[in-house]
Structure 1
Amino acid sequence: MMNIAMVSEHASPLAALDGVDAGGQNVHVAQLAGALAARGHTVTVYTRRDDAEAPDVVALAPGVRVVHVPAGPPRALPKDDLAPFMAEFGRWLARSWIADGAPDLVHAHFWMSGLAARHAADALQIPLVQTFHALGAVKRRHQGLADTSPARRLAAETALLGGADAVLATCGDEKRELVALGADPERVAIVPCGVDLAAFTPPAPRGQEASDRTVEPVRIVALGRLVERKGVDTVIAALAALPASAPDSAVPNTSALNGAVLHIAGGPDAAELDEDPEAVRLTALARDLGVEDRVVLHGRVDRAGAAALLATADVVACTPWYEPFGMVPLEAMACGRPVVGSAVGGLLDSVDDGVTGLLVPPHDVDSTTAALARLLTDPDLAARMGRAGRDRVERLFGWDRVADRTETVYRRVLRRHRARQQKPRSDARAWFSTHLSELQHAARDAAAHADVVDRWGAQLATLLGAGGRVLVAGNGGSAAEAQHFTAELVGRFEDERTPLSALCLSAETSSLTAIGNDYGGAEVFARQVQAHGRPGDVVVLLSTSGRSANVLVAAERARTGGMHVWALTGPAPNPLAEAADEALTVDAGSTSVVQEMHLMLLHAVCAAVDARHAATPVPGPAAVPVAGRVMDGRERTEAGLLLGVEAG
């Protein structure tokens, strides 16, 4: 059995549903921890202390405890203000685990939890699993200037992708987003959110009052955090647009649809709704559309209240702009209710369109109106979808099922981690022998690339001699090789010649950080290519795996801009080699061998360039004006020595 640490810095499993910053993540952490403990594991959830009076440790369920970590002031703070305290959070975790024993693995929930967890996990060599629950790049795309996330979020998430032993995506759409940001697809597993099948159940069959059901107003329910991106305004507009009667009088339940009532739950307590900006906005919209008397805002409801409200619905509406996963559709289906939902994010996985509900485009009032009308005027269809929904969540989304899939990922991570620890360490002599053997094999294979290298050298010599330029980029060790290559061209390799125009995009630290913060890690090279590259220029991209997202996006942008793309990668086939105009691939299993061969190949390209440029006259040292006159070469050398600068 495993000793599991979960880090959930702002979303305590003890928090009430639908608090200001409480919602699906709080429930997810609480339910997953409980389900894992029920399978025999021990789970400790670490959350930031936001109340000075809260106990240090709280028992949440058998086998699950919650620890309040002192990081920042012990009071409630908006989650967007918590990033500066994550280093303190991480140091506390490391000290605690050193003193009391380290867990087998750490599971971080949300990006800021990842910052804290990684600090401690790296210090103690503990494997790290990351669930983001929401991605900054997606939030920035949809909210633009309204996004209140810290500026460092996008860059931090990209870094966490590279540092985690596994990343859990809650749906297929999120996995696609993660891979686009640079995640290794083999380390991303899809594990959805779950639903409490005992708490959310279909209502008991109606008895004698069933015959009176047709005279009651139909009920639409919208449940969730009261924020603009949840798209409740679309449901209010659809309510106002519902036709006065069923479009087909042959359809059962021909009662007037304009009597439908929308019940909205979420946000602050009911007594505080008048002070909540979103509640005030929605109320004003309902008044403007003439349906104020048919829109009921309930405010915050607890889990039992949410289950009871969903069970009374004829239709549950979930129409967000975007949704990392969305637990309300699962809860609605568990209650046997059909769902009208936006075709975004996790709803694409949870709602079986046409079977358990109807999916519509986000922001689309007409489509939402039509979907609501279809279900509200055909109770037999709604009932069939409700039964199918309950069957679907029982098969796929119970917490025991989610815990089983999570446990599978944990065990895979632990096996890899233990294999790395148990790998026999060779002495220096053995390492050199093995490494040189693989390097010699790779070097012999590289000889087959001689014609390509010579052609690249000739093309670069012609291009750069005519005023063109070469742009070079790579990550990690490949970034160092990219910088080395451009230095050889701007300076010299072996022969004296004129300097050649070469830019290393990996070395532009200000551009890298600014672009990463504003546009996400996938854009850090592509945007520079777009800015500096011109049609006919050459873009050289290095990647040992050939799968780095930011390099692949740069290749696409370069080709769109009429530039030539050359790639240096590890073993083929790989996406970068296929995306490039030409590629030099190194068939070696060791990353260090691939990198060393890349440097050798780049040196060979430089030699080929030199062979065509070496005869070009090199101008002498430029005269430098000083104090109203011009220094000669001797004085310039002496001045450089005085300034601590090497002349030449």
Structure 2
Amino acid sequence: MDQQQAGSGGKPGLQQEHGLHIGLVHWSFPPVVGGVETHLWDYSKALAGRGHRVTVFTGSVGAHRPCDGVRVIRHKLLDLSVGHEGNEATLKELREWFRTGLTASGDPIRLVHGHNLHHFSSVPARALKALQGELNLVLLHTYHSIWRTDEGERIARECAVWDVHHAVSDFLVSECREVLRQGAKRTDLEVERTYLGVDTRQYDSIPEVGEEPGRYPVVLLPARLIPNKGAEVAILMLKLLLERAKQSEGELALLRPRLVLTDPFDTVDFHGERGQFRSKLSKLVEVCELAEGPGQDVEFRPASIEDMRKLYQEATVVVYPSLFDEPMGLAPLEAMCAARPVVATGVGGLGEGGSTLVVPKKDDEDDGELASRFADELWPLLTERSLAREAGSAARDHVRALFDLEEAYVDPRLDEYWRLLKGPDSYESTACQPSGSPETSAAPSLSTSTVRR
């Protein structure tokens, strides 16, 4: 494998014609299902497709390798299924493991891009920071969410000493900036809004919603089965839709929408909620006098990354009735790229993707009132297929234009990587070169991010 040698003056020497060797770090990786995991799967494949080498550092047992050019290695101290102790012994163990992985095979990694290392334990972020001077590392970090608890903010502040900070929505930028500036004791620390984008090639060939209305249109909620993702709201919404159909005349009286809830077995269950919540949902289905099972009113569908295309294709409408401030939401963008109209709660960064928004639940409201608002939005989409088709087509165009993974994310990230690896002297250059090329335009110092779009 081609090598990248350390250059003189302590800066990495770049054999630019051979591309980069990039380290991506996250707690979990597919087959584990989740937004960050999906992003890293697609992103690592895109980087390898451009001739770069990628090493993924993760804790997932049995993590899959997405393609040639991507190496996946794991350590138990990144495994979220076990406890994490932040003592010196674990810090040393993880530091040595990172050192070995970053310098293996004569193809050293000089740029590390961490994802959500401000959750669970500060040890990975601290271990990599401890290696920075020795290995001439550039350290970037992306915040896909932030937990505004004392412990969550304490761990997040450990990442404030990294070089560059990204957050996945404008909503999240303001949250992260407040916490990180406290940690770095710098009022000028910046966080760049960086939309992740979706691999549009996976979904833009899915046929649009059919013109002929069917009796059993599918409503899909593509999220983990945890309380704050709104599955209870979706079940109550389905009950209201079925009641509305019964009160209608003609063909509409025969309408019987179905609800599909994704039920990924291999997912990150932060708070051990999944099992108990799944049972609670089945009880709610029973209370609502709905039938549960394949082809019935409510179906809990096992889902992996490979299953998502089929799920979107089966759906007429996608809902995202989140009950918390979603940082952004990758699944709604995927669904929109599949030409499916998306109706989401107007919380957090969900509105930045272009979904149809429903007023979130107020403090004095129950889930039923939010479910009623969702039912009001979905009814015309389910009963007027031309409306669903038009909304889905517009959604696809929107995602293609603004959220394509290659154009919105890979190109600017590679530009940034090259600039950072070339060192501060290159930031004075104003030459603009093609995206993803070694020669790039100006960027700020390592202590800040690039200019927010």
TM-score, scaled to structure 2: 0.73
Partner of 2:392: 386
More helix by share: 1
Residues 338, 88 of structure 1: alpha-carbon distance in 2 compared, 3 angstrom cutoff: same
List per-residue Cα deviations over 1:109-141 (Å, max 9, x = no partner). 11255344323335434111001222121xx4x
Q: Which amino acid aligns with 2:20?
A: M
Instruction: Check if 1:303 corresponds to 2:305.
Output: yes
Q: Which amino acid aligns with 1:89?
A: L
Partner of 1:29: 40
Instruction: Check if 1:268 corresponds to 2:265.
Output: yes
Residues 66, 98 of structure 1: alpha-carbon distance in 2 compared, 3 angstrom cutoff: closer
Say which SS state the counterpart of residue 60 (structure 1) adopts: coil
Residues 308, 258 of structure 1: alpha-carbon distance in 2 compared, 3 angstrom cutoff: same
Partner of 1:227: 226
Partner of 1:237: 236
- Looking at structure 2, the residues matched to 82 and 49 of structure 1 have their Cα atoms a distance apart, in angstroms, of 18
Residues 319, 309 of structure 1: alpha-carbon distance in 2 compared, 3 angstrom cutoff: same
List per-residue Cα deviations over 1:2-54 (Å, max 9, x = no partner). 2211112x212xx22xx4xx311111112111212223322211123636xx8
- Looking at structure 2, the residues matched to 98 and 380 of structure 1 have their Cα atoms a distance apart, in angstroms, of 57
Residue 263 of structure 1 and its aligned partner are, at CA, apart by 1.0
Residues 65, 366 of structure 1: alpha-carbon distance in 2 compared, 3 angstrom cutoff: same
Residue 66 of structure 1 and its aligned partner are, at CA, apart by 1.3
Q: 1:87·1:115 contact (CA, 8 Å) conserved in 2?
A: no
- Looking at structure 2, the residues matched to 179 and 173 of structure 1 have their Cα atoms a distance apart, in angstroms, of 11
Structure 1's unaligned 5+ residue stretches are: 141-150, 270-274, 421-648
Q: Give matches, 1:584-603, under 5 Å.
A: none
- Looking at structure 1, the residues matched to 225 and 389 of structure 2 have their Cα atoms a distance apart, in angstroms, of 28
Q: Give matches, 1:50-65, under 5 Å.
A: 50=61, 60-65=66-71
Instruction: Check if 1:368 corresponds to 2:374.
Output: yes
Say which SS state the counterpart of residue 331 (structure 1) adopts: helix
Partner of 1:168: 166
- Looking at structure 2, the residues matched to 80 and 325 of structure 1 have their Cα atoms a distance apart, in angstroms, of 28
Q: 1:37·1:62 contact (CA, 8 Å) conserved in 2?
A: yes
Residue 82 of structure 1 and its aligned partner are, at CA, apart by 7.2
Residue 394 of structure 1 and its aligned partner are, at CA, apart by 1.4
Say which SS state the counterpart of residue 197 (structure 2) adopts: coil
Residue 387 of structure 1 and its aligned partner are, at CA, apart by 0.3
Instruction: Check if 1:11 corresponds to 2:28.
Output: yes
Residues 33, 396 of structure 1: alpha-carbon distance in 2 compared, 3 angstrom cutoff: same
Instruction: Check if 1:255 corresponds to 2:252.
Output: yes
Residue 419 of structure 1 and its aligned partner are, at CA, apart by 6.3
Q: Which amino acid aligns with 2:298?
A: V
Residue 395 of structure 1 and its aligned partner are, at CA, apart by 1.6
Residues 36, 158 of structure 1: alpha-carbon distance in 2 compared, 3 angstrom cutoff: same
Q: 1:108·1:117 contact (CA, 8 Å) conserved in 2?
A: no
Instruction: Check if 1:278 corresponds to 2:283.
Output: no
List per-residue Cα deviations over 1:580-620 (Å, max 9, x = no partner). xxxxxxxxxxxxxxxxxxxxxxxxxxxxxxxxxxxxxxxxx
Partner of 2:288: 289
Say which SS state the counterpart of residue 311 (structure 2) adopts: helix
Aligned length: 377
Q: Give matches, 1:124-523, under 5 Å.
A: 124-137=135-148, 140=149, 152-161=151-160, 163-183=161-181, 187-201=190-204, 203-204=206-207, 211=212, 213-214=213-214, 216-242=215-241, 244-245=243-244, 255-256=252-253, 259-268=256-265, 276-293=275-292, 295-321=297-323, 322-350=325-353, 352-353=354-355, 357-362=356-361, 364-401=370-407, 402-417=409-424
Say which SS state the counterpart of residue 242 (structure 1) adopts: helix
List per-residue Cα deviations over 1:493-528 (Å, max 9, x = no partner). xxxxxxxxxxxxxxxxxxxxxxxxxxxxxxxxxxxx
Decide which of 89, 96, 105 is 2:94's aligned counterpart. Answer: 89
- Aligned alpha-carbon RMSD (Å): 3.2
Residues 316, 381 of structure 1: alpha-carbon distance in 2 compared, 3 angstrom cutoff: same
Q: 1:311·1:335 contact (CA, 8 Å) conserved in 2?
A: yes
Residue 371 of structure 1 and its aligned partner are, at CA, apart by 1.3
Residue 346 of structure 1 and its aligned partner are, at CA, apart by 3.2
- Looking at structure 1, the residues matched to 254 and 143 of structure 2 have their Cα atoms a distance apart, in angstroms, of 41
Q: 1:242·1:373 contact (CA, 8 Å) conserved in 2?
A: yes
List per-residue Cα deviations over 1:130-181 (Å, max 9, x = no partner). 01222121xx4xxxxxxxxxx74321202312x1211111111111111221
List per-residue Cα deviations over 1:422-451 (Å, max 9, x = no partner). xxxxxxxxxxxxxxxxxxxxxxxxxxxxxx
Residue 242 of structure 1 and its aligned partner are, at CA, apart by 2.6
Partner of 1:548: none
Residue 415 of structure 1 and its aligned partner are, at CA, apart by 4.7
Residue 332 of structure 1 and its aligned partner are, at CA, apart by 0.8
Residues 202, 244 of structure 1: alpha-carbon distance in 2 compared, 3 angstrom cutoff: farther
TM-score, scaled to structure 1: 0.53
Q: 2:419·2:426 contact (CA, 8 Å) conserved in 1?
A: no
Residues 83, 295 of structure 1: alpha-carbon distance in 2 compared, 3 angstrom cutoff: farther
Residue 341 of structure 1 and its aligned partner are, at CA, apart by 0.7
Runs of 4+ in structure 1 deviating by more than 6 angstroms, as ranges, are 246-250
Structure 2's unaligned 5+ residue stretches are: 1-18, 182-186, 267-273, 362-366, 428-453
Q: Which amino acid aligns with 1:224?
A: A
- Looking at structure 2, the residues matched to 80 and 324 of structure 1 have their Cα atoms a distance apart, in angstroms, of 26
List per-residue Cα deviations over 1:220-263 (Å, max 9, x = no partner). 1111211111111111111122374479989xx96138722111
- Looking at structure 1, the residues matched to 290 and 248 of structure 2 have their Cα atoms a distance apart, in angstroms, of 24
Q: Which amino acid aligns with 2:263?
A: G
- Looking at structure 1, the residues matched to 209 and 240 of structure 2 have their Cα atoms a distance apart, in angstroms, of 30
- Looking at structure 2, the residues matched to 329 and 205 of structure 1 have their Cα atoms a distance apart, in angstroms, of 16
